[in-house]
């Protein structure tokens, strides 16, 4: 970034800080007038104070110091996540049922940073994940535990990220397909495990795994769209289950799953856009729910949802046009309204499917993930990508390595993974191709901050996704 651009960003940051001081004073005055501020109000004021103290410092220092503050501490991050694959402190025993997640968070972070494991650690990780694979299908949280959709997703993504014949061939797709079918429910939802909860997260992890492994079929997608559609709330976001509150993680999961099954046009996309873009707050990061605190992990969950919506502009435009044409006094029949609302009349249903057919078929939805990135269209981002990079680099990054939720919190593997994933999405948000090098002006800080591009539907590094696609689709 040039000096002039840095000055411009500095002025922008200074104006942001001045406005924040004004609003914070207004909030404090309201607080003084109230005898019992809520816990959320107090936490919000503390968070704003910590964030804008960082931004104030950043706006007041010389340009060369700004560059140092904005530098991604790549070597320290690599050291942090690589050591964590080899050894974790006894306190991590509470995550014994999440061990494939620990593998995924660290492996994905390493891949995003452009590094790979040595041969011994590579093979040891594959062997460990094999011990988590249930003889009856799916992956458990650890050896001898119960199969679970979430850890199945984490294990599969870990093996794809490791790459190579040994890792990919270790996945028993036939048994895993049977596990997915056992978790499938008549209403279209999935259980996370035997007798477990049914939610949108389960739908996404099941559909994502089936899609990337080329085992997705009509039986697995039946009624899934109905279930996810029932979870879209009045705000526009998607909840974990019908009747719950819209949430960034579930919104990403629901939106990505609907794309992968070829039914994304059934969602109210303009309303979803409206909800998600307003989750980026004055701290420059994203919050997960309305009136909640900013959190670095939503750099991916909300930023990823926006990145997906950015590629659906033709469907969004069509829905907005249709809505403007249908007025309360129009002569649209009840049958026509139903046909319009259920999505079957729109040729946008399979906008990213092979051949552009109007209704998904087996040959089509199996290729949606692949076509989604190969039919990439450059489009202006729907969120402020530079501002989000600023939050990640200045407020979430720890100089010693690792990333965190927000100032005042400690680094952890989960936030390191999803902050880096969100940073990658920001950097490539203007690219004409999903893996084409972005212009320096859209990468905040030195160009050495550039990470590897990801596939936004699966959150695996794009190069590793392509290897997996070639491996699993070779016999199709």
- β-partners of residue 133 are 139
> Is 75 part of the annotated catalytic residue set?
no
> Is 153 part of the annotated catalytic residue set?
no
Candidate list 253, 405, 413, 414, residue with the active-site label: 405
Candidate list 284, 297, 419, 426, residue with the active-site label: 297
> Is 298 part of the annotated catalytic residue set?
yes
DSSP helix/strand/coil, 139: strand
Tokens of residue 443, six digits? 């990468």
d(Cα 147, Cα 206) in Å, to the nearest integer?
Answer: 12
CA distances in angstroms from 411 to 73, 76, 89, 165, 418, listed in the order given: 13, 12, 14, 34, 12
Nearest in space to 422 (alpha carbons), one of 292, 282, 252 = 252
d(Cα 138, Cα 148) in Å, to the nearest integer?
Answer: 7
Candidate list 247, 404, 413, 464, residue with the active-site label: 247
Candidate list 282, 292, 379, 409, residue with the active-site label: 292
Candidate list 43, 412, 435, 466, residue with the active-site label: 412
d(Cα 462, Cα 119) in Å, to the nearest integer?
Answer: 22
> Is 103 part of the annotated catalytic residue set?
no
Region class of 265: left (phi > 0), else alpha (psi between -120 and 50), else beta: alpha
Under 8 Å CB-to-CB from 470, ≥6 apart: which residues? none
Question: How does DSSP assign 115-145, residue by residue?
Answer: ----HHHHHHHHHHHHHHB-TTSSBBSSTTS
> Is 8 part of the annotated catalytic residue set?
no
Under 8 Å CB-to-CB from 339, ≥6 apart: which residues? 345
Cβ count within 10 A of residue 88:
15
Query: Three-state SS across 220-284?
Result: HHCCHHHHHHCCECCCCCECCCCCCCCCHHHHHHHHHHHHHCCCHHHCCHHHHHHHHHCCECCCC
Candidate list 184, 199, 295, 395, residue with the active-site label: 295
Give the number of C-alpha atoms closer than 13 A to the C-alpha of residue 22, restricted to the C-beta side: 7
**DSSP 8-state secondary structure symbol assigned to residue 197:** -
Candidate list 77, 108, 289, 455, residue with the active-site label: 289
Candidate list 108, 193, 351, 415, residue with the active-site label: 415
> Is 413 part of the annotated catalytic residue set?
no
d(Cα 364, Cα 350) in Å, to the nearest integer?
Answer: 8
Nearest in space to 457 (alpha carbons), one of 362, 374, 373, 354 = 373
d(Cα 344, Cα 358) in Å, to the nearest integer?
Answer: 8
**DSSP 8-state secondary structure symbol assigned to residue 410:** P
Candidate list 139, 204, 227, 298, residue with the active-site label: 298
Task: For tokens 């050591």, name the residue.
Answer: 83
> Is 134 part of the annotated catalytic residue set?
no
Give the residue numbers marked as catalytic: 247, 289, 292, 295, 297-298, 405, 412, 415
């Amino acid at each position: 970034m040039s000096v002039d651009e840095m000055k411009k960003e500095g002025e922008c940051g200074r104006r942001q800080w001045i406005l924040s001081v004004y609003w914070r004073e207004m909030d404090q005055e309201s607080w003084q007038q109230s005898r019992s501020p809520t816990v959320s109000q107090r936490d919000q004021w503390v968070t704003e104070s910590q964030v804008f103290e960082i931004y104030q410092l950043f706006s007041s220092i010389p340009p060369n110091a700004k560059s140092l503050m904005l530098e991604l501490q790549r070597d320290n991050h690599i050291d942090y996540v690589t050591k964590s694959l080899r050894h974790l402190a006894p306190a991590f025993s509470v995550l014994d049922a999440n061990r494939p997640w620990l593998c995924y968070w660290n492996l994905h972070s390493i891949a995003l940073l452009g590094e790979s494991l040595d041969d011994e650690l590579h093979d040891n990780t594959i062997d460990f994940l094999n011990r988590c694979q249930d003889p009856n299908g799916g992956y458990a949280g650890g050896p001898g535990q119960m199969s679970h959709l979430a850890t199945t997703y984490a294990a599969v993504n870990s093996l794809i990220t490791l790459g190579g014949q040994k890792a990919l061939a270790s996945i028993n797709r036939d048994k895993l397909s049977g596990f997915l079918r056992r978790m499938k429910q008549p209403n279209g939802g999935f259980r996370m495990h035997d007798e477990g909860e049914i939610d949108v997260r389960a739908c996404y992890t099941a559909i994502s795994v089936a899609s990337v492994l080329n085992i997705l079929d009509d039986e697995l997608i039946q009624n899934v769209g109905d279930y996810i559609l029932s979870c879209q709330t009045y705000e526009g976001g998607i909840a974990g289950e019908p009747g719950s509150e819209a949430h960034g993680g579930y919104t990403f999961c629901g939106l990505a799953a609907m794309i992968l099954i070829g039914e994304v046009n059934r969602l109210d996309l303009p309303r979803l856009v409206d909800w998600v873009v307003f989750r980026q707050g004055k701290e420059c990061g994203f919050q997960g729910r309305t009136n909640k605190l900013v959190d670095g992990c939503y750099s991916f969950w909300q930023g990823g949802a926006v990145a997906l919506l950015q590629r659906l502009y033709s469907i969004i435009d069509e829905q907005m046009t249709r809505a403007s044409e249908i007025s309360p006094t129009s002569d649209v029949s009840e049958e026509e309204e139903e046909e319009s609302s259920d999505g079957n009349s729109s040729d946008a249903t399979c906008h990213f499917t092979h051949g552009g057919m109007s209704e998904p078929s087996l040959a089509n939805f199996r290729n949606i993930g692949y076509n989604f990135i190969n039919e990439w269209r450059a489009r202006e981002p729907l969120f402020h990508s530079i501002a989000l990079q600023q939050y990640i680099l200045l407020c979430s990054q720890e100089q010693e390595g690792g990333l965190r939720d927000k100032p005042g919190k400690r680094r952890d593997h989960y936030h390191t993974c999803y902050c880096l994933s969100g940073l990658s999405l920001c950097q490539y948000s203007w690219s004409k191709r999903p893996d084409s090098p972005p212009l320096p002006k859209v990468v905040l800080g030195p160009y050495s901050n550039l990470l590897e591009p990801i596939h936004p539907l699966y959150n695996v590094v794009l190069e590793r996704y392509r290897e997996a696609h070639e491996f699993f689709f070779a016999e199709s």
